[in-house]
Amino acid sequence: MPKVLISDSMDPRAAAIFRERGLAVDERAGLAPDELKTIIADYDGLAIRSATKVTADLLAAAPRLKVVGRAGIGVDNVDIAAATAAGVVVMNTPFGNAITTAEHAIALMFALARQLPEADASTQAGKWEKNRFMGVELTGKTLGLIGAGNIGSIVAARALGLKMKVVAYDPFLTPERAIELGIEKAELDELLRRADFITLHTPLTDQTRGILGRDALARTKPGVRIVNCARGGLIDEAALKDALDSGHVAGAALDVFETEPAKSSPLFGTPGFISTPHLGASTSEAQVNVAIQVAEQIADFLTSGAVANAINMPSLSAEEAPRLKPYMALAEKLGRLVGQVVGEEVRGVSIEVEGAAAELNPKPITGAVLAGLMGTYSDSVNMVNAPVLARQRGLDVREIRHDREGAYHTLVAVEVATPGGPRRVAGTLFGNHPRLVELFGIDIEAELAGAMLYIVNTDTPGFIGKLGTALGDNGINIATFNLGRRQAHSDAASLVAVDGDIGPEVVKSLCRLEGVREVVPLRF
């Protein structure tokens, strides 16, 4: 039975979902890093919020771990590269707290516009400084969105309801999507020049780190007000402090900081500055939503193979998973076959699908081919880390889809580029059972399972008998024998399933048979 650890405080409905789905679950919030490291080896899944740090050291101590689920959007506390290298799927929950975070950004915009925290403090101090707090309206102002994804689009909708104009900078925002949202797509410099308010809704990456740095802040419209409920590090806090002090920036509200918990900051105490302690997702509704979502995603993955909201691999819905499972098994076997035969000579990979296979999501099929292929070079390869390993080896990977139906109702073909030219294998499904139908230009039908031998020889009378005798002399029993050839008296290829593994001495003895050109032991 798969086992899941919940290592941060989470709504109890998360644990209930795991149990309802037949998974064992432990709730151990507040563990020190060393304590977590001593127990993590027992778990297949890990559900976290922001407190648990999933480091390379922790992952190295977790040989069973298959999935990490973050109840929330940001995954700054997870070493994505190390998780990917370890073959661990990393998921987040981008929708569970989107409304809550968007509403917090809107709330901070209002607080800045009307100086609410300062007015509150002044009034409760017994002052009545009605003329001191002269605010501005949101109506008619221009809001600049840096990031127009899930949360940004919700903020845009709310801002439009407040009769604001909205411009957005987002390299992934298409003109069609901008029209659908009712907003204007703009380059960053134009946004900085025009916006009365700026809100940030982008992940922290190498490309977005410091996106509002000193130079960018200098290019903003005088009197701009800035809100960040996304990630710390998007804004240069020291530069923002200077811009507030100079009056160029009229106000700023940060819910996130470069270092959290933010016990100190150059911004603290600055007039016009508002801060909250990372409350963007802190509503009772959001906490329930993300807990339920992360539990359902982890449970789906561990029980059916469905992948949702993964950071480091293609998504695979619960509906797609059962249909794709036999195709992925076929693809993995084809990749493993070509990897074992061709080995280090592979320079590129093309994955072709036709017939029924062409109607499916191609990414999991490609991932399975690469997992089989890259398994030749490493013992810890799966669909998560195989594409990374392929890129590290400089392999060119291509996907080709044919709508036509050929000799088979469905076909998956893998062609690898080698110094000696292309080499291709192909397979189909008989029922839901993978079956090889083409082997390096030779038509051959075979089931790829267990220990096998790939043998290439000159097609001459009596060879099969000699091969059987040689195997028998070495104590090797033949389970099945599959033979194909291009034409009479040319090359023939055999796939021989045997009982037991084939050692190097057996391979040497077979290579001494007359007409034998190649012998490769295989394992599926």
Whether 73 and 49 have beta carbons less than 8 Å apart is answered as no
Name residue 457's amino acid.
N
Name residue 491's amino acid.
D
What are 157's two structure tokens?
């909708």
Catalytic residue at 231? yes
* Nearest-angstrom CA–CA distance, 7 and 68: 11
Give the phi and the psi of residue 145 in degrees, each rounded to 5: -95, 125
* Nearest-angstrom CA–CA distance, 444 and 453: 14
Q: Which of 383, 379, 390 is nearest to 365 (CA)?
A: 383
What are 389's two structure tokens?
């390993």
Name residue 506's amino acid.
V
Catalytic residue selected from 231, 296, 423, 438: 231
Burial (CB count within 10 angstroms: exposed 0-12, middle 13-18, buried 19+), residue 208: middle
Report in angstroms the alpha-carbon separations of 420 from 345, 351, 383, 423, 454: 9, 19, 28, 9, 19
For the beta carbon of residue 119, count every other beta carbon within 10 angstroms.
Answer: 17
SS3 253: strand
Q: Which of 397, 481, 496, 486 is nearest to 441 (CA)?
A: 486
Alpha helices in 195-258 (DSSP H): 214-218, 237-246
Facing residues of 90 across strands?
Answer: 68
Q: Are strands 477-485 and 516-523 parallel, antiparallel or unpaired?
A: unpaired
* Nearest-angstrom CA–CA distance, 114 and 493: 81
Catalytic residue selected from 21, 158, 201, 278: 278
- Please tell me the number of Cα atoms within 13 Å of 338 on its side-chain side: 36
Catalytic residue selected from 129, 137, 260, 359: 260
For the beta carbon of residue 247, count every other beta carbon within 10 angstroms.
Answer: 11
Phi-psi region of 340 (alpha: psi -120 to 50; beta: other; left: phi over 0): alpha
Catalytic residue at 260? yes
Q: Annotated catalytic sites, by residue? A: 231, 260, 278
